[in-house]
Structure 1
Amino acid sequence: MFMPLQGRKFVIVGGAGLIGSAVARQLAEDGSADVIICDTIGPVCAEKWTCLPANLYDIWTPQDLLPHLERAWRDVGAIMLFADAGHRQGDGDALFETAYHLPRRLWDFAAAKQRPICWASTSQVYGDRQSDGRADPHVIATFKPTTPFGRAKQAFDLFAARQGYSPNAPPISTGFRLSSVYGAGEDHKGDWASLPTRALNAARNANKLGIWDLSSLSDVAGARDWVHVEDAASAIVQVTLQGHGGFFDIGSGTLYAPSQLLCSVEAMTGKPVHIDPIAPPRASQVSPLPAADLSHLEACGIKVAFCELAAGLNRQP
């Protein structure tokens, strides 16, 4: 199903972050939509402001989001949620506010005004299960995430799946279960930047890299599906512009062990990565996550050539 979106306004909540800003740039630069970003910018020295695309239609503060939406809803083509405050700070209430309560409020708005809504979920919802993109609430309820982030995202995925059967649901609702995303535009995260970005910076600057000490576990225990942010954004933009609903895995489809990542960084930079081992959280939280299942994207005709990790590292500035 295709939607006539040319000239429509897309409200991107969290649009100055890593994923939201990449989606905003791709939409703004090719003229697919008028992009409105709702986000906080933080300290100027953190340079989160550099993630904002030049061709913006408007910028809203989180406090003004619902009042602005109430005035502008007739021109809104889609509401897109990529906010993740609380994920890094370890604040459970802030985590559930942005991962569940805020999407819940915007779901009600999208349903009332009959506007499409999409949100960033995570592969962490699966826990130790295989990926499963079915929008069946009974299936989603069986997932056993081992992280608070995964649990919060599962809660909203489950709500959306249940409400999707309601006649008062938004016309299109789409959850993107993102694998581990990396790429340009995450320097403002500091120590919470992705492992590929931190490893590159450590090698280039001869600094130590803080990384979980997995010596007591198999190397594959920390394996992750690393997906470059521009590839992830391309898939999200295509799915959204074509009006597809449901759940989509967004990832490269390949798992990389930590040792593979470090070898790729050293091969690219020609410099060693000096490790500073950090005690990991509970062992259950360092189990391998499933690689993205791209069959749902392929079935919908979404065309993204997800790059391998070594190629993605070479796209880094």
Structure 2
Amino acid sequence: MIVITGGAGMIGSMIAWHLNTVLNRDDLVIVDRMDHPDQWQNLVHRQYAQYLDKDELFARLHNASGVEAVIHMGAISATTERDFNKLVQSNIRYSQQLWDWCAEHGVPLLYASSAATYGGGEQGYSDAHDAVATLRPLNGYGYSKQFFDQWALRQQAQGRPCPPRWYGFKFFNVYGPNEYHKLRMASVALHTFNQFREHGTMQLFRSHLEGYEDGMQLRDFVYVKDAAAVVCHFLQQAAPSGLYNIGTGKARAFRDLATAVMHSMNREPSITYIDMPTDLHGKYQYFTEADMRKLRAAGYTQAFHSLEDGVRDYVQHYLMQPDPYC
């Protein structure tokens, strides 16, 4: 049995998709708390044994047996969350409780960290453990992920109880099916599709940083199917415990992403530029690019979708279909 927290979220439900369709596994326990009224649709195509509310999990784990792994994707993932007390409870304390249970019961733990831990990228994007202490996240969400990463590394360094294998995944800019409940926090790919379909143009942020043209802010965009495949690789294959980037290793511009979406809709692109919201000033990454050497050294050899191929699959096989859910 595999427990997936955040299993009704974008990445969690796509990990369940990979387990169902690629690995033929349906002995899954999906754990979440759905805040959006349509989020349940992320699960309608999935096969799983049980659904639990996030507050039910630890009572069920108390006498549980046969848990093969815990895949912990559940979190407050909004980079704009200002209540740090909420981030502490959801992103730190809940994760620490799962760590302790996995350590006590000898169960591997695979959890979601974030590229938001890298902040503005001044220290680069290496997932080497000796670089973690130098990072300076730009928002409370990023810091909550950084805090847990550092805490996990301390448990290991100080010889405290740890899961037999543990992996923290620093997801870069993930886009793809089943993100529809994320609203403002959804990917620019989804926003482009919706805006272009409704208004005939896509609005991108003007640049407020010298050296970057409007729309040419760069991110490492990774298709959610690739992100799920990496997580499931670590479920199957033993590798050194620790932190791993999940990106493509190739930064692309927001303008490239928006253009790819509009081309996938078989229409001529149209982009307009708007000022960045004030709540993002000083908290916005202008460049991210995952260092992928550690992941490759851990034995992951599969190719990642190019931006154009991933967007085409997303738009044509999901967003343009009557049922967009994977």
**Alignment correspondent of 1:135:** 129
SS of the equivalent of 1:306 reads coil
Greater shift in the superposed pair: 171-180 or 159-168: 159-168
Greater shift in the superposed pair: 275-284 or 143-152: 275-284
| Change in 2 beyond 3 A, CA 1:132/1:272 | closer
For 1:239, give the aligned amino acid: F
Deviations 1:132-151 (A, max 9, x none): 22234xx3111111222211
2:94 to 75, 88, 102: 102
Q: Shift of residue 232 of structure 1?
A: 0.6
1:299 to 283, 286, 297: 297
Flag as ranges the 4+ runs of structure 1 deviating above 4 A: 207-210
SS of the equivalent of 1:76 reads coil
Distance (whole Å) between structure 2 residues aligned to residue 205 and residue 51 of structure 1: 24
Deviations 1:34-86 (A, max 9, x none): 21110123454xx21121143101111111110111121x2111111111326
Work out whether 1:41 is the aligned partner of 2:25: no
Distance (whole Å) between structure 2 residues aligned to residue 101 and residue 167 of structure 1: 17
Q: Shift of residue 282 of structure 1?
A: 5.2
2:256 to 237, 240, 260: 260
What TM-score comes out, normalization by structure 1 length?
A: 0.88
1:114 to 101, 106, 115: 106
Q: Shift of residue 88 of structure 1?
A: 5.7
Greater shift in the superposed pair: 156-165 or 218-227: 218-227
SS of the equivalent of 1:164 reads helix
| Change in 2 beyond 3 A, CA 1:38/1:93 | same
Q: Shift of residue 126 of structure 1?
A: 1.7
SS of the equivalent of 2:283 reads helix
**Alignment correspondent of 2:19:** 27
Q: Shift of residue 196 of structure 1?
A: 1.2
Work out whether 1:64 is the aligned partner of 2:56: yes
**Alignment correspondent of 1:288:** 286
Distance (whole Å) between structure 2 residues aligned to residue 60 and residue 282 of structure 1: 35
- Checking the alignment, whether the CA contact within 8 Å between 1:212 and 1:279 is kept in structure 2 is yes
- Checking the alignment, whether the CA contact within 8 Å between 1:79 and 1:116 is kept in structure 2 is yes
What TM-score comes out, normalization by structure 2 length?
A: 0.86
Distance (whole Å) between structure 1 residues aligned to residue 5 and residue 284 of structure 2: 29
Q: Shift of residue 287 of structure 1?
A: 3.4
For 2:71, give the aligned amino acid: M
Q: Shift of residue 313 of structure 1?
A: 0.9
Distance (whole Å) between structure 1 residues aligned to residue 273 and residue 88 of structure 2: 31
- Checking the alignment, whether the CA contact within 8 Å between 2:111 and 2:168 is kept in structure 1 is yes
Q: Shift of residue 215 of structure 1?
A: 5.4
Deviations 1:234-273 (A, max 9, x none): 0111012213321111011111122222222333331444
Work out whether 1:222 is the aligned partner of 2:213: no
- Checking the alignment, whether the CA contact within 8 Å between 1:235 and 1:303 is kept in structure 2 is no
Greater shift in the superposed pair: 11-20 or 78-87: 78-87
Matched pairs, number: 304
Deviations 1:90-130 (A, max 9, x none): 23222232221110111111112221111111112122221
**Alignment correspondent of 1:78:** 69
SS of the equivalent of 1:285 reads coil
Q: Which runs of 5+ in 1 are unaligned?
A: 1-8
**Alignment correspondent of 1:6:** none
For 1:148, give the aligned amino acid: G
- Checking the alignment, whether the CA contact within 8 Å between 1:174 and 1:247 is kept in structure 2 is yes
Work out whether 1:50 is the aligned partner of 2:50: no
**Alignment correspondent of 1:185:** 178
Distance (whole Å) between structure 2 residues aligned to residue 309 and residue 161 of structure 1: 33
| Change in 2 beyond 3 A, CA 1:295/1:89 | closer
SS of the equivalent of 2:28 reads strand
**Alignment correspondent of 1:17:** 9
Greater shift in the superposed pair: 277-286 or 261-270: 277-286
Greater shift in the superposed pair: 48-57 or 59-68: 48-57
Greater shift in the superposed pair: 151-160 or 209-218: 209-218
Q: Shift of residue 278 of structure 1?
A: 4.0
**Alignment correspondent of 2:276:** 279
Distance (whole Å) between structure 2 residues aligned to residue 215 and residue 284 of structure 1: 10
